[in-house]
Structure 1
Amino acid sequence: MAKRPQLTGRAAILAVVVCAIAMSLAYPVREYISLRRSIAELRAEKARVEAEKQTLLARDRQLYDPNWQKKTAKERLFYCGPGEKCYVVMERQQAKEPAAVQQQPAPPPWYETLWESVEAADKGTGRRAVTGKESVGQS
């Protein structure tokens, strides 16, 4: 009896067909997996943006709350409402500091500096700004 070959024609054709099917499915499966990963990343980003949106909406509601406005005005601007007695507690200066250091004037408030600059601009006594076209050496 003749020995049959291990690899028959049918087996070879079946192996080629199986390889062709595996090769044709490899690219779509890889794309499917990458798209699922991309969808998961976008969902995480959407959740992060939604949380940030909720935070900003809460802050927006807080800005229009009159009680929060009054509290903030008192804390930041030292606002005192009508009929209220407000006190400012000053820190004691250390007695060991020299008298010259203690007598240095405090810088003027921002609104005073702003008003002085407006008056100087009105009178024309303010400094002239140097534009990019002018050189420093020319007048």
Structure 2
Amino acid sequence: MAIRTASAAGSRPRFTGRAAMLALVLCSLIAALAYPTRQFIAQRADIAAQRAAAEQARARVEELRREKARWQDPAYVRTQARERLHYAMPGETPYVSVDPSAGQRSSDASAPTRGGARQPWYASVWDSVDTADRAVSAPPRP
């Protein structure tokens, strides 16, 4: 039996051909599995987003079913016609009160937007081109 000494064990190279091959195989596996793993994670996120969208769609369908059921009730339809369209039953006299100051406030707020909305945008662009052309074509004064 041979007894190894500390100097013999220390002279052995740490990075052998087997270790290099093992490192190469591990790097190849990591590189080969990186793209499928990324795709798997992205697909899982897409599935979660689709499930959330499906749940929202189910909730919207249920809300629309409840609204449809309300519109099947004649009393609800009558109430909505009175509120939205100002309908009145035969023999009733409908009154609509109008606040005169509300009309003045809304017309004052929309006055600046009406001035620019009189003509389309392309007409104002063409007018500005005409104005610039007239300014250039005028003869210079001595």
TM normalised by structure 1 equals 0.55
Q: Which of 30, 45, 56 is equivalent to 2:38? A: 30
Give the 5 Å matches for 1:67-106: 67-75=75-83, 76-80=85-89, 85-89=91-95, 91=97
Work out whether 1:6 is the aligned partner of 2:14.
Answer: yes
Tell me how far 1:60 sits from its aligned partner: 1.2
Q: Which amino acid aligns with 1:88?
A: P
CA distance in 2, matches of 1:38, 1:90: 53
Work out whether 1:16 is the aligned partner of 2:2.
Answer: no
Q: Deviations over 1:30-77 (max 9, x none)?
A: 111000110111111112211221221122111111110121233324
**Matched residues, number:** 91
Work out whether 1:43 is the aligned partner of 2:51.
Answer: yes
* SS of corresponding position for 1:20: helix
Q: Which of 47, 57, 70 is equivalent to 1:62? A: 70
CA distance in 2, matches of 1:88, 1:61: 29
CA distance in 2, matches of 1:43, 1:24: 30
TM normalised by structure 2 equals 0.54
> Over aligned residues, Cα RMSD in angstroms?
2.6
Percent of pairs identical after alignment? 32
